[in-house]
A and B are shown apart, each in its own frame.
Chain A
Amino acid sequence: MALLQLSEPGESTAPHQHRLAVGIDLGTTNSLVATVRHSIPECLPDEAGRRLLPSVVRYLKGGLTVVGVDALAAESTDPRNTIASVKRLMGRGPADTDPGMRARYDLTDAAGMVRINTVAGPRSPVEISSEILKVLRARAEETLGGDLVGAVITVPAYFDDAQRQATKDAARLAGLNVLRLLNEPTAAAIAYGLDEAAEGIYAVFDLGGGTFDFSVLRLSRGVFEVMATSGDSALGGDDFDEVLAQWLHKQAAGADLDCGANRALLSEARRVKEALTTEASVIARVPQLGGGVRTVDVTVETFQSLTRTLVERCLQPVKKALRDAALKVADIQAVVLVGGATRMPHVRAAVKAYFGREPFIDIDPDKVVAIGAAVQANVLAGNRRADEDWLLLDVIPLSLGLETMGGLVEKIVPRNATIPVAKAQEFTTFKDGQTAMSIHVVQGERELVSDCRSLARFELRDIPPMVAGAARIRVTFQIDADGLLSVSAREQGTGVESTVTVKPSYGLSDDEVANMLKAGFEHATDDMKARALREQKVDAERLIEATRQALAEDADLLSLAEAQRIDAAIAALATAREGTEHLVIKASIEALSAATADFAARRMDKAIRTALTGSRVDSL
């Protein structure tokens, strides 16, 4: 049972057509998955309500893999097999491997990309990243109740082709269809709705766990143009942890630490850093070699002076980007902060001081990229009108549709749809061996073709003979900016195609349009009954046709009495079909279906026997 979502006005999707798509922020420290539900983008939590998934993967003996909080908890006890910040190694060859990562893990140089040796064997950064993506994919599919059609995954603007390709490979390995890789700053701008905001020049300051990106975007007519990007792909919140950890180690006068104690020290430094966002001083507990803990008092002033050079390092790329784009600070209309590290008060203060304005901080800087990616994924998956970026030129006054069996109208383009617009729907054949289809284009709000206005008729010929229902005929309604409608029908298997063009509003006065609308409302109940009746008549006809066909082929499977019973049911249905009570027809349809149930089963047995005769079991 699918549960329904609230849509934007006029954007309800057809049944089974709501396409599940997510945005994923595959971060150095944390990763998130977000989606658009009820038209509102949000990050999806796990069962425990946690939205951030630590980008940490732990390999255990026996092939088991742990991802996230549980892996993070094992960082200090099992450091060699617990891989954090793997994003730093994505697409990196032996020559440009991050020295910090080289010190922390047992790396093997391999062609193209390094490998990390774990108890489970050597693992590439792509494989490790895919473990993170798999967890996010499972969380999304469980939450949304279905398979994902795709994901938008964000990457730093600085990622080169190899790093982007590695990210795509990781997604494919996790079973995700990548709709698009999106630059993180663009995602942040989209999350703030800047794509719908005033035209101008915006800056995105993204200090994440492992990378710093600064981008200058120019928005004109709803489209972002990247004017300049700069940054430092080895500068992030992790570096603040590192500096603080080194200082703590010195303060506690510790001897050289082993791998595990070193990791514990780093986690402690991170905790202290985060606590100092809201507190003036924090007591750090520094682990000692051979057990034991020493406490060190850390004040905001101490932390800020220790990391001042890191903050200054952030401003260098900012200056460079502005210089590259030939812009002055005053040209920047707004600054968006992204990444958990921008929570540090002295980072915010530095940004504010440099740009002379308060940066945007309304959306949680940890979530803003994932949210922007989700908004983009929703558009790319086709859940919003593709014409949203177009100017609203006009709307069509009356629904456009075509005639289906029984003289019923199938509406393809609803009234008030903005033009230009294109909508397509698939139809199939009604009878076995049908080689042509007549397409009747109508306009109006009523359910029966006879109550609507006929616009055009054309035929699609040369459909290859197939059993009823096997042909796939895609009918596309396209209305251009001038209101010109062209309808095309294409048989998907062979590609045979036929097209007609009409101007639907031609010759209709405003009064006539209004009358057609009014008639649609006044006759709503009649139309409902008429539609129900026609539908049952069509079903009845289809069933009689199919039963007669079956009798012609396999009458020998029936005893005389059985054949008579089926004939009687056909006759009863044929009579009921002429009546006006849809429930009576329905009952007769059910009676005929029941009468032929055994016959159908026998025909199936016969078909299987025929198919299997002469075949060996192992060849099936």
Chain B
Amino acid sequence: MSVTLSEAAASHVSKFIAKRGKGVGVRLGVKTTGCSGMAYKLEYADEESADDLVFESHGLKVLVDPKSLPYIDGTELDFVREGLNEGFKFNNPNVKNECGCGESFNV
């Protein structure tokens, strides 16, 4: 059981946390949205809650709530650049099909 950050993702997360001025790491999760499938959650984490599963990756904490883990177990969060646009991408081995935009998916 693990959720990790790629090197690029980790360095960008560190940079963003430094600029933002606070945060212990990132929180990854999913939101179930009825018949349209799942949507990813990607947030700054300011504190661990007692229920969180905590993974360490490149010195950063990756927090996942226990309800989300089965959907994203094994995921590597990556940071990619496409032209002027850039952002994070979930490389999630559990995904059977995506909506094409990468924001929601099915298992």
Enumerate chain A interface residues (CB-CB to B < 8 A). 1-12, 14-16, 37-40, 44, 47, 139, 142-145, 404-406, 408, 410-411, 414, 445, 447, 517, 520-521, 524-525, 527-528, 531-532, 535, 538-539
Flag if A4 contacts B43 (CB, 8 Å): no
Complex CA gap A375/B82 in Å reads 24
- Chain A CB count within 10 A is highest, among B19, B43, B106, B107, for B43
Per CB-CB distance, the 5 closest pairs between chain A and chain B, nearest first, are A3-B87, A15-B103, A145-B85, A410-B34, A12-B41
Known: A6-B26, A410-B33. A11 touches B43 (CB 8 A): yes
Closest Cβ–Cβ distance, residue B107 to chain A (whole Å): 6
**Additional A-B contacts beyond A143-B84, A521-B65 (8; CB < 8 A):** A7-B43, A9-B44, A10-B43, A12-B43, A16-B103, A38-B20, A414-B31, A445-B67
Closest Cβ–Cβ distance, residue B85 to chain A (whole Å): 4
Flag if A8 contacts B83 (CB, 8 Å): no
Interfacial residues of chain B within 12-32, with CB under 8 A of chain A in the complex: 13, 16, 19-20, 26-27, 29, 31-32
- Chain B CB count within 10 A is highest, among A1, A15, A532, for A15
Our pick among A3, A405, A520, A528 for the contact of B89 (Cβ within 8 Å) is A3
Flag if A1 contacts B16 (CB, 8 Å): no
Complex CA gap A143/B40 in Å reads 22
Flag if B86 contacts A538 (CB, 8 Å): no
Inter-chain contacts of A414 with B (CB < 8 A): 31
Our pick among A6, A11, A142, A404 for the contact of B88 (Cβ within 8 Å) is A6
Name 28 interchain pairs, CB-CB below 8 A, sorted by A: A1-B102, A2-B103, A3-B82, A4-B40, A4-B103, A6-B26, A9-B44, A10-B43, A12-B39, A12-B43, A14-B31, A15-B99, A38-B20, A39-B20, A139-B84, A143-B85, A404-B35, A406-B35, A410-B34, A411-B32, A517-B51, A520-B67, A524-B68, A525-B70, A528-B70, A528-B107, A532-B107, A535-B35
CB of B69 within 8 Å of the partner chain: yes
Flag if B51 contacts A521 (CB, 8 Å): yes
Enumerate chain B interface residues (CB-CB to A < 8 A). 13, 16, 19-20, 26-27, 29, 31-36, 39-46, 51, 65-71, 80, 82-90, 99-104, 106-107
Our pick among B32, B69, B90 for the contact of A4 (Cβ within 8 Å) is B90
Inter-chain contacts of B88 with A (CB < 8 A): 3-6
Inter-chain contacts of B31 with A (CB < 8 A): 12, 14, 411, 414
Closest Cβ–Cβ distance, residue A409 to chain B (whole Å): 8
Inter-chain contacts of A520 with B (CB < 8 A): 67
Q: Which residue of B lies closest to A5 (CB)?
A: B87
Q: Which residue of A lies closest to B100 (CB)?
A: A1
Known: A4-B87, A142-B83. A15 touches B104 (CB 8 A): yes
Complex CA gap A1/B81 in Å reads 11
Complex CA gap A40/B102 in Å reads 22
Complex CA gap A7/B87 in Å reads 12
Closest Cβ–Cβ distance, residue B41 to chain A (whole Å): 4
Flag if B71 contacts A528 (CB, 8 Å): yes
Inter-chain contacts of A3 with B (CB < 8 A): 80, 82, 85-89, 102
Q: Which residue of B lies closest to A520 (CB)?
A: B67
Our pick among A8, A47, A527 for the contact of B84 (Cβ within 8 Å) is A47
Flag if B84 contacts A40 (CB, 8 Å): no
Inter-chain contacts of A525 with B (CB < 8 A): 70
Q: Which residue of B lies closest to A445 (CB)?
A: B67
Flag if B35 contacts A142 (CB, 8 Å): no
Complex CA gap A15/B66 in Å reads 21
Closest Cβ–Cβ distance, residue B81 to chain A (whole Å): 9
